[in-house]
Structure 1
Amino acid sequence: MKAMRPLLLVIIAVVVAAVGWLAALAAGRYSLATPVLPPSALLTMGVIAALTLFMGIRIQRWRNAKKKTMLNPILAARTLVLAQACAYAGTVLLGWHAGIAVDLIRIWSLRSDQGILWHTLLMGGGGLVMVAVGLVVERFCRIPPEDMEGGPGITDPRRGEAKGEGEYAYRGD
């Protein structure tokens, strides 16, 4: 699995922002509700970001420790996948709500319900937090270059033997 590219995240956010802007225009034209997630979605976004950060901190603690035991590679892989999914989902949410916010700013003085803009900006901020957590946790999942040689000292608790090169958990390369 390759590392995420921030440029790709920006491109995704811009494309989704354009789609969100068009959706907001269409909703306004046909007198539909603004297509914004409900406030309860912030709770869900927060739980996902917190879980991702919690799992990432576990990986970072192992990485910074003396490594007497081997890290569960399934845990490392799941944490990495969760971090990347969190970043991609946050990018989509940020882009969607940014596009809607652009449309709402355009008609700011004409709307009777001006609180929807603040709600949209709050949802976009939640997406930004998810992107940041995803990128940070992805960094936590990388093993430092000095550990790439695979020195002795890592023992497999199942066998009690030292592990050499290639026996580490996911390296992120």
Structure 2
Amino acid sequence: MRSTMRTIRPAWLVTVTVIVAAVGWATTELTSRASLALPVLPLSSLITMALIAVVSLVLGLKVRRWRDGNRDKALDPLMAARTVVLAQACAYAGAVLLGWHLGILVDQLPTIAMRADLAVIWQMVALIAGALVMVAVGVIVERFCKVPPEDSEPTAKPRPKHEGRGEEEFA
């Protein structure tokens, strides 16, 4: 049986980032007109972002070690599948956070010269950096979990291609 789980597509990450950046920009325009505070996450969010990235990385390294031949212990397939899902969630969550804070930062760039306090700008830059780390860790950990094609089905015979279709059916 072959898995139908798809890998992260960088184009989707960019699309998510751009769409959420537009939403973040529009939201900031609306909150500014209503004299509300900027909708920026607090710096304490970096702790949560770091925790998610570290857990993803640790689990991914366990899967990678097993994949690369250190098979002293059996690898729980469910844990490996959950690691891939966590890595993908980490990458997409990072893309959302990146887009949101980039949109807000773009909206605020023209007002930087008028600001007496640049703390919120540096806060956004820190959150953007944290989001980039989440995206990178998610993509890297997902790659750790890929099994080389020759190892995926050692006893399975290749299926013949169906004429006229040019693609393989998945069971």
Deviation at 1:148, TM superposition (A): 3.1
Quick check: 1:148–1:165 contact (8 Å CA) kept in 2?
Answer: no
Deviation at 1:138, TM superposition (A): 0.3
- TM-score (normalised: structure 2): 0.84
Q: Which structure 1 segments of 5+ residues have no match? A: 151-163, 167-173
Deviation at 1:110, TM superposition (A): 2.0
Q: Return the alpha-carbon distance in structure 2 between the equivalents of residues 165 and 123 of structure 1.
A: 47
- Which letter does structure 2 place at the counterpart of 1:88? Y
Alignment identity in percent? 51
Q: Return the alpha-carbon distance in structure 2 between the equivalents of residues 112 and 68 of structure 1.
A: 59
C-alpha RMSD of matched pairs (Å): 1.6
Correspondent of 2:7 among 3, 6, 15: 3
Q: Return the alpha-carbon distance in structure 1 between the equivalents of residues 70 and 60 of structure 2.
A: 18
Matched, 1:31 2:26: no
Deviation at 1:68, TM superposition (A): 5.9
Q: Return the alpha-carbon distance in structure 2 between the equivalents of residues 96 and 46 of structure 1.
A: 18
Q: Secondary structure at the match of 2:41?
A: coil
What whole-Å deviation, never above 9, does each CA across 1:89-145 have from its counterpart, x for those lacking one?
000000000001101112111223321111101101111100000000000111013
Q: Return the alpha-carbon distance in structure 2 between the equivalents of residues 45 and 83 of structure 1.
A: 13
Q: Return the alpha-carbon distance in structure 1 between the equivalents of residues 147 and 71 of structure 2.
A: 12
Q: Return the alpha-carbon distance in structure 2 between the equivalents of residues 68 and 33 of structure 1.
A: 54
Quick check: 1:90–1:129 contact (8 Å CA) kept in 2?
Answer: yes
- Which letter does structure 1 place at the counterpart of 2:83? T
Deviation at 1:67, TM superposition (A): 3.7
Q: Which structure 2 segments of 5+ residues have no match? A: 158-171
Q: How many residues align?
A: 153
Which residue in 2 is equivalent to 1:16?
20
- TM-score (normalised: structure 1): 0.83
Correspondent of 2:88 among 84, 90, 94: 84
